[in-house]
Structure 1
Amino acid sequence: MNKTRLLRIVAAIFIALVAVTILRYILGFTPKGEIIKLDTGWNVSINSNTYENVDITKIYQIFDGKLQKNDRVSMWITLPDAGKLDFPVLHFKSRYTTLSCYIDDNLIYEYGLMDYADGKHIGKVNHFITLPEDYAGKTVRFTMYVGEKNPFSSLEPVTLGSQPDVERMLTHDNNQIIITGFFLLAFGLAFLCITLFFITSVPEVITLLIGSVFSMSMGLWLLSCYNILSMYMNAPDETIIEYITMYSMVPFCYVMLYLIQNIENKKLYLITAIVGCTIPIMQYILHFVFGIHLRSTLLLYHVDGLVGFGLIIYFAQKNLRKRDISSSSMIQMAGLCGFTSAEVVHLLFYFASTLLHISIYQPLEKGIISIGCIYFAMCQLANYLVNIAETYATKKENISLSHLAYADGLTNLANRAKSDSCLQSLNDTEDDYCIISIDLNGLKPVNDKFGHLAGDKYIKDFAKVLGNTFGDDTFKARIGGDEFLVIIKDSSVVDVSALIGRMNSALNVLNALYPEYRRSVSTGYAFRHECPGQSSHEVYLLADQRMYELKRKMHEELGMHMRL
């Protein structure tokens, strides 16, 4: 990996870390009142079995097995006195269950019972349950009916405090996710619009488009995975978005790999990719057509995702060994590796907490996945900038090559090949035009007496006079050693004789300033209307004939033989 490429990757990581750190500092939080975490001391009943003094963050310890659909879980505790609270609330996060909340056997809150009765999907929900002012010393009871197999093995602590403090604390605890998620949505949308705007000038535009949509999908997944979208929509819809966007990650990775990699065995790769992309499609069909909830097929995603991650690792090490992809593709590959690595760590944390019941430090978990997503986005941006730079350089090189092909090396005017092309294009127009044939007088004597450098200067001085006399909208070319051509496409508004007179006057000024030799030209011009029904070549021949007639007269007046 060269230093420039390494610098880009390091810069992307640095930007991601700085952005997250600064925003966490800005969004710091200090509660105005007391906030109490209720995690221990609960009484819990599961169906007909009752347990005392349970830590709900380790509720798996009292399970005989996994919770099954339709199980009934009830848990209760006496509320402590948190002092004077403005708008006291309980915050509780349920997972794939209904929720009924009682204070001293009086129902004060209910969620999901209708959906549960209808067999609909019940997602993860943040509940903010308003308490009476005299809540202290009363018993709060949560009753839940399980809507999915194995909905949870632990629960987050129930939070008691004033509503503004509890809500702000929840926002603060998830500010990394909120910032990253909304940034990815905004970045992906803006990047998509920019990419579509430059679709004709940016190579590998398909990869850039896929990357922008992938960024938006990442943002939606983050916001729904940590229940941020539930502030704006129904919880079941949020959970569906979570699984749809999560399952779509694998197809995105397969498509991006196909676009940026040099794949040797394409047949084998396409078979693997088709299977990998078909799995989430089948999961969507099972959910929306047959009512088999997306969460029920989560194991398929885990297997599919690990296979996809293995492919990314394979191609990454292949790129490092062979260096067989472009700088642009290498940047995108780095972004893909960064995100998928963070996603695998996130998956390992999930297995550790659900299967091994290992407590994971939440800021670490959220920080790793946030940095992985932002790093992917920064690599997309770096890739776009590299594409723009390479496109600009290629365009500049093409213009330079085109100029070399059609420009006269001495005068920088158009050459004979370009003039032939311009003459041919005149046949496709209906406008009147004028062709001026110009021949330098006395170039050979200047070369013989003063040398070819002086002759070249004579030619270049005349080219400047020609450029100053005729505007930028007029075609000017050097078609031979001392032969020049001018084409005026809109001759109806131009006084050609006056322009030729001004050109001769400019040459006379040069003769007065530099009298070592005399500069002059012979000219002849013709209009299209003088050759009705004939091609531009015939018009040029008429102009050339008139030029030679003028040259002959000039030589006769000077008593010189005309050089053919």
Structure 2
Amino acid sequence: MEIKTKIKAASLSILAIIIITITVIVLGTAKFNTPYDYPLVQLDSGWTISRDGKSHPIESLSTASIGLANKGDEISVSTTIPYIGNIPQTTLEFRSILSTVDVYIDDELIYSYGYDYTIKNLMLPKFHHFIPLPKHSDGKTIEIVFTATEDNAFSSFSPFYLGSYKDISNKLLQPNRLPIVIGNFLCMFGFVLLVLSPFLIFSDNHDYSIMFSALISIFMGFYILCYNDILWYVSNSPAVYTFLEYVSLFLIPPCIIGFIISTRQVRALGIGKALLSINLAFVLTTFVLHATNLLHICHFVTFFHLLVVCEALFFVISLVHAIITKRKKASDNNAAPMSATMLIVGLICFLTCAITDIILFNLLKYGSTGESSATINFTTVGALLFMICLFLNYFFHCIEYISELSTKKHLEGLAYSDSLTGLSNRTKCELVFAELKGDYTIISLDLDYLKYTNDNYGHLEGDKLISGFGNILKNSFTDACLVGRMGGDEFIVVLPYIDTERTERDLSCMSDLMAYESSREVHIKYSASWGYANSKERDLLKVATPQKVYLLADSRMYEMKKSHHDQSLSRLYDDLLKNLSGKAGDTNNA
């Protein structure tokens, strides 16, 4: 990779970091917050928690330690409803995870949720409850009962808000501006790549990497939107986007592995394919078990976290090893593999952010505070960084591929091209012969006057005659699949069809060009003998191989060469007479 390309890569990376930083700062500011129409209160103190027949007051609900709630565990919280002002409809909001909910005011049931799921043995989704309270509820006791329907269902409570429905909705939505922007961007970016992917998949290169890039972006975007409950505002199916949250999370690793394998940026492709199979089997197994209600998908999160950490270590080490190996093999220090470098930078950024959130989530869930305050802000920013690096990876991968292809074509040109004429050499002609099938016509040509030109005007003029004739052939047989020089004064043309009229027309064009070029020269005379044959000639016995067709065309060429030989003798006699008359004139003048 040239130094200019490296500078360009560094500039793009710095620009991306600047854009992300500005985006995070702008979206994180409170200047865009919508003011509340009515008072909004977070009910955090004054609660009493009851579990296993034991009750105790707590100072703060957000930091209360309740331990893990397993299937069948019943945990209730109660407090006195405060007066917060004159609101047309006072609403209580909170979120539940994998549990049924019952709400009582002064022991009177006013709200229930989740029993339609438990009857069918379905997994309860996480759900935001907006409960309109009866008028004049202030001063009364409210009790909320959570009953876990899965093991390790939850270990803390989300914040409880009291206010108007609109104000609470804004309160929940405003901190999620960054996930909304990044999640929607990743989804749209992924769909654009997915639309473009068939063009590269069905091209000659069969490039699948852009398809995996698209899927990575889409699944990351959906996971960010689902985890932050953003789809709650546009969907009335919490079970769908809760299930989609788990599925999109589980599908991100196999898509990343598929991208790495498709770009062949690690040497251990066999291990990579095995890990891809394990991930796909994991996703399929969890899907089947969840769909059949044998074991819900929420039980596989811990195993997924362990699997991701192990795979991340393997691929980071493999990518680093691949980069070091390529640097050692490169004779030029500027030939560093920028595509692999960008991929590993993006992958390390994303994995660092994701593992940070994984560790924080598990510490919160199995620690004292609980997972209700867990966020994926690091993963959100890491996902954006990763997709930018993935885009740069694809950009540099294309540059490297084009450079490699150009070098390969250049080397093939040196190996298969005639240095004097630029036509295909004998080796290339033999390779084309080996692949010839179907209908074709072979023209054998022999350049006249080459020896005469070399003997009388020097080899420089002879080379000029050969190279000029090569240009005439290229301009005459524009539809040929091969125009080559077999050696010396022998040339060959292969036409991918059998059409005598077209062949004669091209030969006539060649004759006209030879006459025109001859008129412009002093010593050089362009003339050639030729003969042609096709793959369906009656003169050929049994199978018409390219070698047999060529020999038949060659024999016909020699028939024309005999007549041209007589003309060559006549021209030699004329030149001798001119030379003799010139010498006689010089003697008389003397």
Give the TM-score of the pair, scaled to structure 2: 0.75
Distance 1:272 1:491 in 2: 57
TM-superposed deviation, 1:146: 1.6
Q: Which residue in the other structure is 2:500 paired with?
A: 492
**2:172 aligned with 1:170:** yes
Displacement of 1:340: 1.8
CA distance in 2, matches of 1:204, 1:327: 22
Q: What amino acid maps onto 1:447 in structure 2?
A: N
Which of 111, 114, 126 is the equivalent residue of 1:112?
A: 114
Matches within 5 A, 1:161-560: 161-192=163-194, 194-199=196-201, 212-230=214-232, 231-232=234-235, 234-247=237-250, 260-262=265-267, 291-296=294-299, 298-311=301-314, 327-357=338-368, 365-420=375-430, 428-429=438-439, 433=441, 435=443, 437-441=445-449, 443-473=450-480, 475-488=482-495, 489-494=497-502, 496=504, 503-515=510-522, 517-528=523-534, 532-534=538-540, 535-558=548-571, 560=573
Question: Which residue is equivalent to 2:581?
Answer: none
Equivalent residues in 2 for 1:40-79, closer than 5 Å: 40-46=44-50, 48-51=53-56, 54-60=59-65, 63=66, 66-67=68-69, 69-79=72-82
Q: State whether residues 94 and 159 of structure 2, in contact with CA within 8 Å, keep that contact through their aligned partners in structure 1.
A: yes
Identity of counterpart residues, as a percentage?
21
SS in 2 for 1:520: coil
Counterpart residue type for residue 524 of structure 1: W
Moved more, 537-546 or 201-210: 201-210
Separation in 2, partners of 1:300, 1:531: 71
Distance in 2 (CA, whole Å) between partners of 1:481 and 1:367 is 73
Query: What secondary structure sits across from 1:59 in the alignment?
Result: coil
The alpha carbon displacement at 1:200 in A equals 6.2
Equivalent residue of 2:201, what SS? coil
What TM-score does the superposition give when structure 1 sets the normalisation length? 0.78
Q: How far has the Cα of 1:369 moved from its partner?
A: 1.4
The one-letter amino acid paired with 1:181 is G
1:312-337 deviation line (CA, Å, top 9, x unaligned)? 56557766876689654443333332
Structure 1's 136 and 457: CA in aligned 2 closer, same or farther, altered over 3 A? farther
TM-superposed deviation, 1:449: 4.5
Question: What whole-Å deviation, never above 9, does each CA across 1:509-558 have from its counterpart, x for those lacking one?
Answer: 4444442x141313233454995141412431233222312212303433
546-555 or 237-246, which deviates more: 237-246
Q: How many angstroms apart in 2 are the aligned matches of 1:279 and 1:426? A: 49
Tell me: CA distance 1:461–1:25, structure 2 relative to 1, closer, same or farther (3 Å).
farther
* Cα offset, 1:191, TM superposition: 3.7
Task: Rate the CA distance shift 1:366–1:465 in 2: closer, same or farther, 3 A.
Answer: same
SS in 2 for 1:141: strand
Structure 1, 406-415 or 486-495: larger mean CA deviation = 486-495
**CA displacement at 1:370 relative to structure 2:** 0.8
Unaligned runs of 5+ in 2: 329-336, 541-547, 575-590
Instruction: State the aligned residue count.
Output: 549
Question: CA offset at residue 76 of structure 1?
Answer: 3.7
Cα RMSD, aligned residues only: 4.6
CA distance in 2, matches of 1:113, 1:530: 82
> Which SS does the other structure have where 1:539 is aligned?
helix
Q: For 2:44, what is the secondary structure of its paired residue?
A: coil
Gaps of 5+ in 1: none
Q: 1:424 to 1:146 in 2, by over 3 A?
A: closer
1:253 Cα deviation (Å)? 6.9
Q: In the alignment, is the contact (CA less than 8 A) between 2:69 and 2:152 conserved in 1? A: yes
